[in-house]
Amino acid sequence: MRFLILSNEKPHNFWFLNTIYKIDEKEHIRHNSFRTFFMKNTANNYLFDIDNSFSKVLPIERLNHDKAVLTHYLHNMHNGVTSIFEKDALNFIKLYVKHQDASTNTKRNSDEALQSLLFSINAIPFPPPKDYKFTFIDLFAGIGGFKLAMQNLGGKCVFASEWDKEAQKTYQANFGDVPFGDITKSEVKKYIPNQFDILCAGFPCQAFSIAGRRGGFEDTRGTLFFEVAEILKKANPKAFFLENVKGLVSHERGATLETILNVLRNDLNYYVPDPKVLNAKDYGVPQNRERIFIVGFRKDLRIDNFQYPYLQPVNNYFSSSVLTKLLRVA
């Protein structure tokens, strides 16, 4: 889980915090009680009904995919990206109603079911802002740390992807929507909106097949960074936030990071200041957790001055004066 705070000290300054708790695939089980508590809310009741209705009918991956389409549709009814999800979501609602009617010997219509879903969708622990200031997508989303931070800054998530099933459950409990699965699959990528303001991604560290030269876009093919770069190339958002482990700095003797920066700066034409490794313990979080952060801005925005923040007293981090300069971008 990641927290991101943007500072108002200098133009285009922002600093980043990782969560107090380190979550990985093997640690999700420790948060079952936390997840169960949050899942006892109105917005998730219909998802329980869907699980109960289809768990023995549809394969789990198909069911999770359909729930992702449905919840993304419900959460994006009024922000211009509804059409991407609408057809498949409405078809799934019809299937759900038909299945429910058959099992309960009742008769409803899809419109009634849709109204019921819309009524309950925001009864969740962390609802999106009603009057959002920018849009973003959440790749390799984990349990939603990036999303929580961006929502707190006035952002609206229009797409989320996370392949880990346990993380998907926690994400659903926190935000009322289900992330899509494997971002490398075409049936997932087709739901990414063509327009959004910011791309957020905590992509894994992987080696590239580079032989004695500085790598470019095609050299990253087959890696998860390539998926990120491909989305940036197609959608050309105003900005991006990338997070990775500290080891990316020395990975393959620095060749991996050099290739990433070359792709972002030269192939994709973003202004990318030098990345920086920050430690959560230096920003008021009781954990020794070092991560590298890479940020970038589209060059037509004419942003050419960026500095990562200096250390500050902990009580300043969450004060009311903390604002986002990114709103100027969005």
CA–chain centroid gap for 77, Å, is 18
Which of the pair, 275 or 10, is modelled with greater confidence?
275
Predicted confidence at residue 321, as pLDDT, reads 37
- CA–CA separation, 170 and 30 (whole Å): 11
Task: Give the residue carrying structure tokens 């309950």.
Answer: 120
Within 13 Å and on the Cβ side, how many CA atoms surround 293? 26
Asked if 133 contacts 155 with a C-beta cutoff of 8 angstroms, the reply is yes
Minimum mean pLDDT among 7-11, 32-36, 214-218, 222-226: which range? 7-11
- CA–CA separation, 278 and 292 (whole Å): 6
Average pLDDT over residues 33-47: 48
- CA–CA separation, 76 and 187 (whole Å): 19
- CA–CA separation, 258 and 249 (whole Å): 9
Which of the pair, 181 or 321, is modelled with greater confidence?
181
As given in the structure block, the two tokens for residue 132 are 């959002």
Q: Which ranges of the chain would DSSP assign to H, the alpha helix?
A: 32-39, 42-54, 60-75, 82-104, 110-120, 145-152, 165-175, 186-189, 224-235, 255-262, 326-329
Predicted confidence at residue 137, as pLDDT, reads 97
- CA–CA separation, 102 and 88 (whole Å): 21
* pLDDT value at 34 more than 50: no
Nearest residue to 9 (alpha-carbon basis) of 315, 307, 293: 307
Minimum mean pLDDT among 58-62, 139-143, 260-264, 313-317: which range? 313-317
As given in the structure block, the two tokens for residue 83 are 């059409």
Task: Give the residue carrying structure tokens 């979501």.
Answer: 89
Pairing of strands 134-139, 198-201: parallel
Render pLDDT for 105-126 as a digit per residue (tens, 0 to 9): 566 666 766 766 766 676 788 9
Within 13 Å and on the Cβ side, how many CA atoms surround 141? 35
- Catalytic residue selected from 205, 229, 242, 326: 205
Which DSSP symbol is given to 10?
Answer: S
Q: Which amino acid is at 146?
A: F
Predicted confidence at residue 11, as pLDDT, reads 32
- CA–CA separation, 263 and 261 (whole Å): 5
Name the burial class of residue 24, with classes exposed (0-12), middle (13-18) and buried (19+) by CB atoms within 10 angstroms of its CB. exposed
Which DSSP symbol is given to 318?
Answer: T
Render pLDDT for 261-311 as a digit per residue (tens, 0 to 9): 999 999 999 999 999 998 878 877 777 888 899 999 999 999 988 888 777
Annotated catalytic residue 157? no
Task: Give the residue carrying structure tokens 């020794």.
Answer: 288
Which of the pair, 6 or 102, is modelled with greater confidence?
102
Render pLDDT for 251-269 as a digit per residue (tens, 0 to 9): 888 888 998 999 999 999 9
Render pLDDT for 212-248 as a digit per residue (tens, 0 to 9): 445 555 556 668 888 999 999 999 999 999 998 888 8
As given in the structure block, the two tokens for residue 200 are 């957020």
- CA–CA separation, 180 and 171 (whole Å): 11
Predicted confidence at residue 250, as pLDDT, reads 85
195 three-state secondary structure: coil
Predicted confidence at residue 3, as pLDDT, reads 37
What DSSP letter does each residue of 114-133 carry, written as one string? Answer: HHHHHHHTT-SSSPPPSS-S
Sequence length of the chain is 330
Render pLDDT for 182-192 as a digit per residue (tens, 0 to 9): 999 999 999 99
Average pLDDT over residues 89-112: 72
